[in-house]
Amino acid sequence: MEEEIIDGDLVTTPTKTYKIINGRIAGYTDGLDAMRQAIDKLLNTERFAYLIYSENYGVELEDLIGEQMDLVKSEIERVVTEAIETDDRVISVDNFLIVDETIDTLTISFEVATVFGDISIEQEVVV
């Protein structure tokens, strides 16, 4: 939600955006669904890799590739939380669970409390 001043009054406007399905625009979305999509996009965009995004957008997972799994596990919660909390619609990121899938793959799951409601996220990360 964005807040703007219109005729001297503070007005909250919706965060309507394009709905992306399989890499294609398929109408519009808003609210909790738009927030879920924004988090997914953020987690799949490496920070500093694309000039189109600001320095505050994306997640820094490439630095963890090739590191010892204990280090990765200790850093991944911090890295993901910092990335998601840059969005002013996010209230908190909690309840991390990290599971080893293979020698170089983790599945992370966590919950994001947003101004629209709570979202459960599960993401596979290759390091």
Structure tokens at 45: 């965009």
Model pTM?
Answer: 0.83
pLDDT at 23: 87
Percentage, residues of the chain above pLDDT 70: 89
Residue located via tokens 């459960």: 120
Largest CA distance in the chain: 58
**Number of structural domains the chain divides into:** 1
Q: How confident is the model at residue 8 (pLDDT cuts 50, 70, 90)?
A: low
pLDDT above 60: residue 4? no
pLDDT above 70: residue 40? yes
**If we measure between CA atoms, which residue out of 38, 34, 59 comes closest to residue 48?**
59
> Are β-strands 9-13 and 17-21 bridged in parallel, bridged antiparallel, or unpaired?
unpaired
Mean pLDDT across 2-21 = 70
pLDDT digits (tens, 9 = 90+) for 66-102: 888 989 998 999 999 999 999 989 999 999 999 999 8
pLDDT at 103: 87
Structural domain including 12 reads: 2-126
Question: What one-character DSSP code corresponds to residue 47?
Answer: T
pLDDT at 45: 92
Q: How far apart are CA 123 and CA 25, in angstroms?
A: 22
More confident residue, 46 or 127: 46
**If we measure between CA atoms, which residue out of 25, 62, 29 comes closest to residue 44?**
62
Domain CATH code at residue 75 = 3.10.450.40
Question: What one-character DSSP code corresponds to residue 54?
Answer: -
